[in-house]
Structure 1
């Protein structure tokens, strides 16, 4: 089956997770990172989900799933080992036109979650259309070696540069040439080695402006904030 890849804006959206184990925790954690309002239903709760409830970061609805919990939900994730319950959740979510993901059961899902590498604002998603999560994880691990946190910093830097070029450079062709020249430069290597002075010198020479584009990048924690999801 061919899936249509999308990025969902979950900020402020109500998301329901059924399950209290480690898999459920990873789903909850990622939903929180995306700004969702998360509610959990589970007869047993793992220590990390208990901690989130204690900190009031998520809402605990109780031990038993009820259809009424779907009301106002934007999406629901079933992370239980109860196949009968999973089928029930999937059917009720489908009937209520709510996005539904049942972990490791793509046939019961209206959406599937890819393996993801996150580097700051850069997100790389790998999907096997549910055919082999193990292969998706292997590919994610392989790609993690190629895409370090320097890409997060480079993306932030390119955002600053783009704004400057759009404001100060006329002509779409000239802008494209500048963007390509910067992207094809050694900036990624300099970022990886934290040679910020070389970046400043190169950008001043290339753009003809006296502005420290990398100012402040050294103080950010982007190099230590890599995240991944499977």
Structure 2
């Protein structure tokens, strides 16, 4: 069994989950709480908020539907029907009580100030359309995780979004032709090996379309490749 970096038991299993229409509880309405709420709403969660003080943005965003303000004082029954809770107050004792209640109810809990006391962490993440890269240090140094993310931002630029949408469209088009799966996989590997991101970054679209057409041969005619690329590009812009 792997233990975490603090020696406190099993290390955390990396996992991406859908929060659409999931109920999330955030306790704490300061800058940290606001960041949590913003991100949760961005991913389609339904957020309940408990906080003594709210930032101006939280005051404005609390519409009673996607963001429901429950009042200033936390109580354990606020976790009823909750899928995920964030303890984001400046009161360490309160945060620990929230984490304990979450464990008792088998609710996932993120601890902003003491990540190792919770049951999940929010990594520093980079998103380029369908591409998401997450970096975590098991709570030892969120600052280092952010630093690594910043380096990745330089390596994985905005060209990765149309690139992935283009490859995805090609993949779906090829799979519809009911060919042997092993042959398709080899074709997909060859496409992934082309320097498409470099060509996109440099605006060498015609050269890119020619190269992809050469790999696909009769499976995807050049005019179809060009159409799929235009669609991927326009969707990403």
Q: The residue matched to 1:112 in structure 2 has which SS?
A: coil
User: Which of 139, 142, 161 is matched with 2:170 structurally?
Assistant: 161
Q: CA RMSD in A?
A: 1.7
Is the Cα–Cα contact under 8 Å of residues 200 and 213 in structure 1 kept in the other structure?
Answer: no
Secondary structure of the residue aligned to 1:118 is strand
**Aligned equivalents of 2:234 and 2:16: distance in 1?**
29
User: Are 1:199 and 1:214, in contact at CA under 8 Å, matched by a contact in 2?
Assistant: no
For residues 161-180 of structure 1, the aligned pairs below 5 Å read: 161-168=170-177, 170-180=179-189
Normalised by the length of structure 1, the TM-score is: 0.90
Of residues 13, 17, 25 in structure 2, which corresponds to 1:16?
25
Name segments (4+ residues, structure 1) moved above 6 Å. none
2:112 is the counterpart of 1:97 = no
Per the alignment, residue 230 of structure 2 pairs with: 215
- How far apart, in 2, do the equivalents of 1:169 and 1:203 lie? 20
User: Between Structure 1 and Structure 2, how many residues are aligned?
Assistant: 222
**Residue 4 (1) aligns with residue 13 (2):** yes
How far apart are the structure 2 equivalents of 1:195 and 1:62?
56
What is the TM-score normalised by the length of structure 2?
A: 0.87
Distance in 2 between residues matched to 1:66 and 1:123, nearest whole Å: 35
1:110 aligns with 2:119: yes
Shift of 1:174: 1.9
Segments of structure 2 that go 5 or more residues without pairing to the other structure are 5-10
Structure having greater relative contact order (Cα 8 Å, sep ≥ 6): 1
Partner of 1:53: 62
Identify the range of structure 1 (105-114 vs 163-172) with the bigger mean alpha-carbon deviation: 163-172
Distance in 2 (alpha carbons) for counterparts of 1:134 and 1:108: 18
Note the C-alpha offset of 1:22.
1.5
Native 8 Å contact 2:45 2:66 kept in 1: no
Deviations 1:45-88 (A, max 9, x none): 11221221159541111111111110000010011111111011
1:116, 1:126 within 8 Å by CA — same for their partners in 2?
yes
Which residue of structure 2 aligns with residue 141 of structure 1? 150
Write out per-residue CA displacement over residues 205-224 of structure 1, whole angstroms, 9 at most, x where no aligned residue: 3213330221223433x36x
- C-alpha contact 1:190 1:199 (8 A) present in aligned 2: yes
> d(CA) in 2 for partners of 1:40 and 1:193?
46
Partners of 1:45 and 1:82 lie apart in 2 by 15
**d(CA) in 2 for partners of 1:195, 1:169:** 32
Of 184, 187, 204 in structure 1, the residue corresponding to residue 193 of structure 2 is: 184
- Determine the C-alpha separation between the residues in 2 that align with 1:42 and 1:194: 49
Do the aligned residues in 1 keep the contact of 2:162 with 2:233 (CA within 8 Å)?
A: no
For residues 102-127 of structure 1, the C-alpha deviation after alignment (integer angstroms, 9 at most, x for no partner) is 10302320111111111111111111
**Equivalent of residue 130 in structure 2, options 116, 121, 134:** 121
